[in-house]
Structure 1
Amino acid sequence: MIDVVLKKGKEKAALQKHPWIFSGAIEKVKGKPANGEVVKVYAADKSFLAYGYYNDQSRVAVRLLEWEEEQLIDQQWYHKKIKTALAARAHLLNEDTNTCRLVFSEADFLPGLIIDKYADFLSLQILSAGMENIKADLIAILKEELSPKGIFDKSDASARTHENLEAAQGLLWGENPPEFIEVKENGLRYHINIADGQKSGFYCDQRDNREILAAYTKDKEVLDCFCYSGGFTLNALKQQARHVTSVDSSALAIETLKHNLSLNGFAEDSQTSFQSDVNKQLRAFKEEGKIFDVIVLDPPKYAPSRSALDRAARAYKDLNRLGMLLLKSGGILATYSCSGAVDLETFKQIIAWAALDAGKEVQIIKQFHQPEDHPVRISFPEGEYLKGLLLRVL
């Protein structure tokens, strides 16, 4: 196994179990490891630090896996890690919920591996060269542990380019998933399109937050922005919202939402869909004089990196300002950011700027987080990407 030696003083993060070694921290590499090969990482004093995946194409040159030198990184090691991750989620799956995230990358000590369960199918995102190299082993483990009908590769994320990997999508094993897989989450039924849907097919990271917000929607006029397949819309209707207006720019999202409304037996006149750019539609609503009791703003990732933070802050501020202007006095705004580069305190500051521009007083009444199947390792705070605020706008 090839050795990677760090520069003097660069071992602190690894000793604290942070899983990333940046290229600038490396003093020398003894040999030429292939991208994704497991290497041994040493401090400058030659003391062992950890095993990890090496990749000279990535700014994160080593993704650490294991800190115990006597451990072998073999199929048995991967099997144990996956079994541990599955066991931690077992209580989340029941007759009312048959979808969740089974493996969450660094949070489960499996950097670059994301596995989502959709009823009897699995959707994989492989985002590191190390995980790409052991794809066959992963499939064998998942077949043994879960006996799925099919395993689908949804590794089309832009993150793969940082590992010098091409996008990949298609059936890995078993049956091809149907165009729409039916899943249940919190007693609601959804049609999921793995192949053509966003991310791995569904946003299970908002499972808890959808239920929390729904408690505020009974008899209310609700606006669900970036609605995708209708998670917030359906939960609001389940709690007897008077009417929900749903907006998304994706034709597939709106089509899927219509399927889901029918699937759950909600009356057609209880909901209206707009396939439109959200900011454009919010301005149109303002010109029409429309107002709402509850608004949901759940945009895509505006800041994929810290270099995009200033631009993202402006986008979040403008979006939230528009939302505030469409609320009745005392109305509820649920606003989210899935940008890891935007921490909660920064997000609060952006909301404060939006409130100032909108001429509104705002109270924070709850804070939203990602659910427990998206855990955050205490040694890897970067894994906490989803945050949100429940606001009363006065």
Structure 2
Amino acid sequence: MIDVILKKGKEKAAMLRHPWIFSGAIDKIKGQPVNGEIVAVRSADKEFLAYAYFNDLSRVALRLLEWDETATIDKAWYKQKIKQAIAARGHILNEDTNTCRLVFSEADFLPGLIVDQYANFLSLQILSAGIENIKEDIIAILREELNPKGIFDKSDAGARKHENLEASQGLLWGENPPEFIEVKENGILYHINIAEGQKSGFYCDQRDNRRILAGYTRGKNVLDCFCYSGGFTLNSLKYQAAHVTSVDSSALAVETLKHNLELNGFKTEQQTSIQSDVNKQLRAFKEAGQTFDVLVLDPPKYAPSRSALDRAARAYKDLNRLGMLLLKEGGILATFSCSGAVDIETFKQIIAWAALDAGREVQIIKQFCQPEDHPVRISFSEGEYLKGLLLRVL
């Protein structure tokens, strides 16, 4: 096995079980590893630190897998890790929920592998060259453990570019998924489109937060922004919201939401769908003097990296300022950020600026986070990407 020697003093992160080592920490490489190959990472004193995927084309040159030098990283090793991840989610899947994230990359010691279950189908995102190299083994293990109808590739994320991998999408094994797969979450039915939907097909990371927010919507007039396939909309209607207005810029999202409304038998007069840019629509509501009791802001990732943080902060502030101006006194705002570069304290500060600009007093009622099928390793805080605040706007 090829040895990668770190510069003196650069071994601390690996010793603390952080799974990333950046290219600038490498002193020398004994051999010529190909991208995605497993190498032994050693300190400047030649002490073993971990086994890792190597990629000299990525800023994260080493993605650490295993800290036990006696371990053999083979198909059996991958099978054990995948079985462990699946077993940890076993209690989530029940008669009310048949969709969740089964494998969450670094959090499950498999950097670059994301597996989501949608009823009898699996969706894979492969975001590292190391996992790409053993893709066939991963497919075989998932077949053995879960016996799905089909396994679909959704490896079209921008992260693949950093690993010098091209986007990849299509059937990997089994049956092609139907145009719409019917899944259930919190007792609510959804039609989701794996092939054309965003990311892996459905945002199951808001499962708990949808249910929590719905508890504040009974008899209320709700505005659900960036609604996608309608998670917050449908949960609010289930909890007897008086009316929900749902806004998304995607025609596919709005069409999918309409399918989901029909699927659950909700009355059409209880809901209005608007295909529009959210910021533009919020301004239109303000000009029309329209107000709401409850408002959800669940935008896409504004800060894909720390270099985009300042621009993202301005975008989050303006979005939340507009939202606060539309809420009645004492109204509820559920606001989220899925940008890993924005930590919860930074997000709170952004909300404080938005409140100041809007001239509104705001109380934090609750902090939202990602659910347990998106766990955060204590040694890898970067895995904590989803955060949110439940606010009362006075």
The root-mean-square deviation of aligned C-alpha atoms, in Å, is: 0.3
**Residue equivalent to 1:75:** 75
Residue deviations 1:156-208 (CA, integer Å, cap 9, x gap) = 00000000000000000000000100000010000010000001000000000
**Residue equivalent to 2:43:** 43
The separation in 2 between residues aligned to 1:285 and 1:179, in whole angstroms, is 34
Secondary structure of the structure 2 residue equivalent to 1:307: helix
Matched letter for residue 184 of structure 1:
K
Asked if 1:321 is matched to 2:321, the reply is: yes
Matched letter for residue 58 of structure 1:
S
Deviation at residue 31 of structure 1 after TM alignment: 1.0
**Residue equivalent to 2:133:** 133
**Residue equivalent to 2:7:** 7
Matched letter for residue 102 of structure 1:
L
**Residue equivalent to 1:142:** 142
* Structure 1 residues without counterparts, runs of 5 or longer: none
Count of residues in correspondence between the two structures = 394
Residue deviations 1:120-164 (CA, integer Å, cap 9, x gap) = 000000000000000000000000000000000000000000000
Secondary structure of the structure 2 residue equivalent to 1:92: coil
**Residue equivalent to 2:245:** 245
The separation in 2 between residues aligned to 1:29 and 1:364, in whole angstroms, is 51
1:157-176 aligned within 5 A: 157-176=157-176
Deviation at residue 251 of structure 1 after TM alignment: 0.3
1:336-351 aligned within 5 A: 336-351=336-351
Asked if 1:183 is matched to 2:167, the reply is: no
Matched letter for residue 387 of structure 1:
K
The separation in 2 between residues aligned to 1:224 and 1:342, in whole angstroms, is 22
Asked if 1:32 is matched to 2:40, the reply is: no
The separation in 1 between residues aligned to 2:186 and 2:329, in whole angstroms, is 31
Asked if 1:52 is matched to 2:31, the reply is: no
Deviation at residue 109 of structure 1 after TM alignment: 0.1
The separation in 2 between residues aligned to 1:264 and 1:29, in whole angstroms, is 58
The separation in 1 between residues aligned to 2:138 and 2:263, in whole angstroms, is 34
**Residue equivalent to 2:364:** 364
Give the 4+ runs in structure 1 shifted more than 2 A.
none
**Residue equivalent to 1:269:** 269
* Structure 2 residues without counterparts, runs of 5 or longer: none
The separation in 1 between residues aligned to 2:82 and 2:339, in whole angstroms, is 26
Residue deviations 1:202-232 (CA, integer Å, cap 9, x gap) = 0000000000000000000000000000000
**Residue equivalent to 1:301:** 301
Residue deviations 1:297-337 (CA, integer Å, cap 9, x gap) = 00000000000000000000000000000000000000000
The separation in 1 between residues aligned to 2:157 and 2:277, in whole angstroms, is 22
Deviation at residue 75 of structure 1 after TM alignment: 0.3
Secondary structure of the structure 1 residue equivalent to 2:90: helix
Residue deviations 1:230-277 (CA, integer Å, cap 9, x gap) = 000000000000000000000000000000000000000000000000
The separation in 1 between residues aligned to 2:94 and 2:366, in whole angstroms, is 27
For normalisation by structure 2, the TM-score amounts to 1.00
**Residue equivalent to 1:229:** 229
Secondary structure of the structure 1 residue equivalent to 2:89: helix
The separation in 2 between residues aligned to 1:67 and 1:118, in whole angstroms, is 33
The separation in 2 between residues aligned to 1:247 and 1:75, in whole angstroms, is 45
The separation in 1 between residues aligned to 2:105 and 2:245, in whole angstroms, is 35
The separation in 2 between residues aligned to 1:159 and 1:350, in whole angstroms, is 27
Matched letter for residue 45 of structure 1:
D
The separation in 1 between residues aligned to 2:13 and 2:291, in whole angstroms, is 50
Identity %: 83
For normalisation by structure 1, the TM-score amounts to 1.00
Residue deviations 1:85-137 (CA, integer Å, cap 9, x gap) = 00000000011100000000000000000000000000000000000000000
**Residue equivalent to 1:209:** 209
The separation in 1 between residues aligned to 2:176 and 2:113, in whole angstroms, is 21
The separation in 1 between residues aligned to 2:195 and 2:2, in whole angstroms, is 38
Secondary structure of the structure 1 residue equivalent to 2:76: helix
Matched letter for residue 187 of structure 1:
G
The separation in 1 between residues aligned to 2:177 and 2:38, in whole angstroms, is 33
Asked if 1:96 is matched to 2:59, the reply is: no
The separation in 2 between residues aligned to 1:2 and 1:48, in whole angstroms, is 12
Asked if 1:86 is matched to 2:86, the reply is: yes
1:255-266 aligned within 5 A: 255-266=255-266
Matched letter for residue 311 of structure 2:
R
Secondary structure of the structure 2 residue equivalent to 1:281: helix
The separation in 1 between residues aligned to 2:276 and 2:133, in whole angstroms, is 41
Matched letter for residue 332 of structure 1:
I
